Structure 1
Amino acid sequence: MNISGAIFDLDGTLLDTTEIWEGVAARYITSLRKTPEPGLREKTKAMTLPMLCSYLKDEYRIATTESKIAKGFNTILREDYLESADIKQYVPILLEKFKQKGVAMCITTSTDKAIANEILVRLGIRDYFTFIMTCEEAGGDKESPKVFLDAHKKLGTPKDETIVVEDGLLAIRGAKEADFYVIAVADKNEEQNKAEIQELSDRYIESFEELL
């Protein structure tokens, strides 16, 4: 396959940050002296930030605005990102390889754009990506094909030469519904979905070394 465009997920794909996301909502609820429900991350993992804030406000009867909930959530997320977020092995080598081949690259993510931009700059890989598109900007979560279609339209590459690189089952479903060639990246937090991910995706890799 000739690749001229690549749409990358951030958390769990390029960055080893899935565990950070796993705990942020629970930490936020705990900070309010409330008890987070079991499986909170699983219930909310495909939500955009506005959807998550609406869910938390209703489910935990939080007496504040959704914008203030988002601010508190992002404060915790940013602290964790700056303290412990790291890049997955071989990612910088792959990005440089794609750059040398003229592949246009972008990010789609549920993470706040300012936080995503900051961590990519800190890790030294921001300049590889033409833009960052959030699910909030696209107006839907990653289970919907819209974020991938919007990102592809902005990227401007031929669809049959554009890949989506993702780790999550719900996002892979969305990308396949949008009819993209999907490369699935192994992530320990999606281990329970591995068989379905392997079946849905066009290629499954355990490490980015396989793409070098």
Structure 2
Amino acid sequence: MQAAIFDLDGTLLDSMHIWADVDAEFLAKRGIVVPDDYTEIITPMSLDETAVYTIARFGLEEGVDDLKREWNRMVEVAYTHDVGLKPYAREYLLSLKEHGMKLAVATSLPRSLYEPALANNGLLHLFDALCSTDEVGVGKRRPDVFLLAAERLATAASSCVVYEDLLEAIISARQAGMTTYAVYDESSKAGWQKMVEIADGTIYNFKDAAIPGVGATAPGCSLVL
């Protein structure tokens, strides 16, 4: 493997609880209780897709840009100052760099949120490419954002490994010919068993995670090469 492509929310960043709070607060202001299936449906979507879906599902009168601005206002302080990393994520990224791997971000977050979060956690300088689904116009049910990351890294898809906590993203990255690591997060536990079945590797804790291509594995990380 020559390059590693990372999701942020739920993979490198311990941030999914923030979006659950945003969903609840946003809909409560409009007299709506969050439906049981809402989070699962919107998680693979880009921010634009989420806004379109939310407006249609709940019959809202606001426009797409209105929703995006409100959501961004609700979370910008948290992403700038409060959102932290998953345990040992920093050390794992540094290990990948030491082994000569190029690093990229492929996230559904807009630049206005992911750059401050990475900078606040001292990681921004580690990445060779930063990509958002905003740039490709579709969510992670399609591999476009992963392919954009590979292009910016000047690396073939077959030489990239994608780290994700989302089943749909694991599926689309594999369809693009990339190696995949499923990263456990409580927010996506419903799809975890399926991710274990289809991903090339699984990570429960970055402390124990293997370096792709090195071959050694440790408790908490299983890898098929």
The two structures have a TM-score, normalised by structure 1, of 0.91
Equivalent residues in 2 for 1:141-152, closer than 5 Å: 141-152=139-150
Q: Which residue in the other structure is 1:211 paired with?
A: 210
Please state whether the residue corresponding to 2:91 is helix, strand or coil.
helix
Deviation of 1:82 (Å): 3.9
Deviation of 1:112 (Å): 1.4
Taking the aligned partners of 2:63 and 2:196, their CA distance within structure 1 comes to 40
Q: What is the aligned length?
A: 210
Aligned: 1:53 with 2:46: no
Deviation of 1:169 (Å): 0.7
Please state whether the residue corresponding to 1:211 is helix, strand or coil.
coil
Contact 1:9 1:166 (C-alpha < 8 Å) held by counterparts: yes
Please state whether the residue corresponding to 1:199 is helix, strand or coil.
helix
Gaps of 5+ in 2: 212-225
Contact 1:23 1:41 (C-alpha < 8 Å) held by counterparts: no
> Identity of counterpart residues, as a percentage?
27
Please state whether the residue corresponding to 2:45 is helix, strand or coil.
coil
Q: Which residue in the other structure is 2:63 paired with?
A: 65
Aligned: 1:127 with 2:112: no
Tell me: higher relative CO, structure 1 or 2? Use CA pairs within 8 A at least 6 residues apart: 1
- Select the residue among 4, 11, 14 that pairs with 1:6: 4
Taking the aligned partners of 2:160 and 2:5, their CA distance within structure 1 comes to 7
Deviation of 1:83 (Å): 5.4
Gaps of 5+ in 1: none
More helix by share: 1
The structure 1 segments of at least 4 consecutive aligned residues displaced by more than 6 Å after TM superposition are none
Note closer, same or farther for the CA distance 1:40–1:23 as it changes in structure 2 (3 Å cut).
Answer: farther
Q: Which residue in the other structure is 2:85 paired with?
A: 87
1:147-168 residue CA offsets vs partner (Å, 9 max, x unmatched): 2112111111233331111111
The two structures have a TM-score, normalised by structure 2, of 0.86
Equivalent residues in 2 for 1:112-123, closer than 5 Å: 112-123=110-121
Q: Which residue in the other structure is 1:41 paired with?
A: 39
Deviation of 1:62 (Å): 2.2
Deviation of 1:188 (Å): 1.4
Please state whether the residue corresponding to 2:84 is helix, strand or coil.
coil
1:105-136 residue CA offsets vs partner (Å, 9 max, x unmatched): 11011111111000100011111112221112
Deviation of 1:174 (Å): 0.9
